[in-house]
Amino acid sequence: MRKHYTGLIERYKDRLPISESTRIISIGEGNTPLIQLENIPKLINKDVEIFVKYEGLNPTGSFKDRGMTMAITKAVEEGGQAVICASTGNTSASAAAYAVRAGITAFVLIPEGKIALGKLAQTLMYGAKIIQIKDNFDAGMRLVKEIVDHAPVTIVNSINPFRIDGQKTAAFEIIDELGDAPDYHCLPVGNAGNITAYWKGYKEYSTDSDNLPAVTEKRPVMCGYQAAGAAPFISGAMIDNPETVATAIRIGHPQSWDYAWAAQKESGGWFDCFTDDKILAAQKMLASHEGIFCEPASAASLAGALKDIASGKIPEGSRIVCTLTGNGLKDPDVAITQCADDQPVAVEATLDSVKRAILDQM
């Protein structure tokens, strides 16, 4: 019988800072589908293999659960009773869920009016202590870093190294499934924890360690994509008033700045940015051509891959993985606004009207 894994810590515990006696706080995260796109490569008429790592299928609907299972497990192991994070929405939902699972308290600082509806609904349902601030994520992050000197709380933002350790397992899963690293790995960049984590994972799987042999020699080129209004990696300096419809990555002062630059340089990769329109177009393209619904920020990965494939920067014959960081259901408002021109028809509830509605649209 195939071994049953409850979550990513169980699966990868020989590569995580966990001991036999650690109480693992898991809700069955990780092991997300790696889906090969079938229609978009034909549409763009390019000979490329594009896979999407659909992280929206984690328990709270985003990749944050990978890091959070580790961060909360370690916080509890160290005797913590409360955790805190600043968030654009997904980290707060994840922290809230894993904290309640562990029986501890989660405090979350969110920018008032700037987090997607689904994320707010989740965080409320899980019962986190929500503190809305009249400022953005970067201000929340600054406050969280200060508050730990004034209250007994553990930070579970990605500046917590256990978050990065949990999130690196996505790279392990990709190599385990494809049999090797892809040629290119494309992902959205906000606070830059995820690009840091993937690169750590790819490096660890391609390096002999004391007790584990390398799984592969290959590492991908890392391509990080931002929203044009929130693109410090493009301007090369922190920015103060980030703005984008992709609220998840509405960040001007990324915390993992140096690590992300190291990932770019060591992998021979690059950063680029896209207007909100381009990001939304990629989100809709993925939903309407492949049946895969991700949130706006996630679609920056596909927007980037498609641009770089079109220009030849990513050559034909390449195998590409795009991380879809969050589920499309997180942000119903943006999705519905996007489809304003595709309003459903309304008809009388009669056989004749329904028949006409069908035949008219065939």
**Interface of this chain with ligand F0G, residues 176 to 195, rule: CB under 6 A:** 188-194
Nearer to ligand F0G, 64 or 74 (CB): 64
**Least distance between ligand F0G and beta carbon 163 (Å):** 9
**Interface of this chain with ligand F0G, residues 99 to 138, rule: CB under 6 A:** none
**Least distance between ligand F0G and beta carbon 158 (Å):** 6
**Least distance between ligand F0G and beta carbon 328 (Å):** 10
E strands in the chain: 34-36, 49-54, 82-86, 105-111, 129-133, 154-155, 184-188, 221-227, 270-274, 319-324
Q: Of residues 87, 123, 160, 244, which one binds ligand F0G by CB under 6 A?
A: 87
Based on the shown chain and the rule CB under 6 A, indicate whether residue 9 belongs to the binding site for ligand F0G.
no
Based on the shown chain and the rule CB under 6 A, indicate whether residue 89 belongs to the binding site for ligand F0G.
yes
Stretch that binds ligand F0G, among 24-32, 82-90, 170-178, 206-214 (CB under 6 A): 82-90
Helices (H), 214-319: 232-235, 257-267, 276-290, 296-310
Residue 112: DSSP 8-state: T
What is the number of H-type helices and E-type strands within the chain?
15, 10
**Least distance between ligand F0G and beta carbon 302 (Å):** 12
Q: Name the β-bridge partners of 357.
A: none
Q: Of residues 171, 326, 331, 335, which one binds ligand F0G by CB under 6 A?
A: 326
Based on the shown chain and the rule CB under 6 A, indicate whether residue 58 belongs to the binding site for ligand F0G.
no
Measure the CA–CA gap between 301 and 321, rounded to whole angstroms: 9
Q: Of residues 71, 248, 303, 322, which one binds ligand F0G by CB under 6 A?
A: 248
Q: Name the β-bridge partners of 130.
A: 108
Based on the shown chain and the rule CB under 6 A, indicate whether residue 244 belongs to the binding site for ligand F0G.
no
**Least distance between ligand F0G and beta carbon 208 (Å):** 28
**Least distance between ligand F0G and beta carbon 64 (Å):** 6
Q: Quick one: tokens of 233?
A: 């990696």
Q: Of residues 52, 249, 303, 334, which one binds ligand F0G by CB under 6 A?
A: 249
Q: Which element (helix H / strand E) includes 105? A: strand 105-111
Q: Of residues 60, 91, 136, 206, which one binds ligand F0G by CB under 6 A?
A: 91
**Least distance between ligand F0G and beta carbon 157 (Å):** 7
Measure the CA–CA gap between 131 and 107, rounded to whole angstroms: 7
Residues 6+ apart with CB under 8 A from 135: 111
CB 60, CB 94: distance < 8 Å: yes
CB 208, CB 214: distance < 8 Å: yes
Based on the shown chain and the rule CB under 6 A, indicate whether residue 298 belongs to the binding site for ligand F0G.
yes
CB 50, CB 322: distance < 8 Å: yes
Stretch that binds ligand F0G, among 28-36, 88-96, 198-206, 346-354 (CB under 6 A): 88-96
Q: Among all chains, which residue has been given the structure tokens 């890091």?
A: 67
Sheet holding 105-111, edge to edge: 129-133, 105-111, 82-86, 154-155
Q: Name the β-bridge partners of 221.
A: 184
Q: Of residues 90, 244, 267, 318, which one binds ligand F0G by CB under 6 A?
A: 90
**Least distance between ligand F0G and beta carbon 47 (Å):** 29
**Least distance between ligand F0G and beta carbon 192 (Å):** 5
CB 276, CB 228: distance < 8 Å: yes
Nearer to ligand F0G, 32 or 88 (CB): 88
The burial class, CB within 10 Å (0-12 / 13-18 / 19+), for 62 is buried
The burial class, CB within 10 Å (0-12 / 13-18 / 19+), for 98 is buried
Applying CB under 6 A, the residues found at the interface with ligand F0G are 62, 64, 87-91, 158, 188-194, 248-249, 295, 297-298, 325-326
